[in-house]
Structure 1
């Protein structure tokens, strides 16, 4: 039997602010197997965690 993998989508967004360090830490604390997030590259070369494209 295969193991079900539990992902924390944007951390534990249902318990904290999505894509924040505190949300990621809460997801790990509640026992997720991994965390899924989205990264965007800004026009000036910075990497940010954000789902929607920015203008």
Structure 2
């Protein structure tokens, strides 16, 4: 069964991971987030229960 032969696929997987780890990942991590988190406190809103007319 040729699909169980890992010889060609292991090299492709290894090359892909090495490319991602050493070339693409540092370039992606250099980007700064455009919407940085703020220290705004979340406000809680008062909710009222829904009154169903048939109960």
TM-score using structure 1 length: 0.19
Higher relative contact order structure (alpha carbons within 8 Å, sequence separation ≥ 6): 1
Give the number of the structure whose residues are more often helix, by fraction. 2
Q: TM-score, normalised by structure 2?
A: 0.19
- Please identify which structure carries the higher strand content: 1
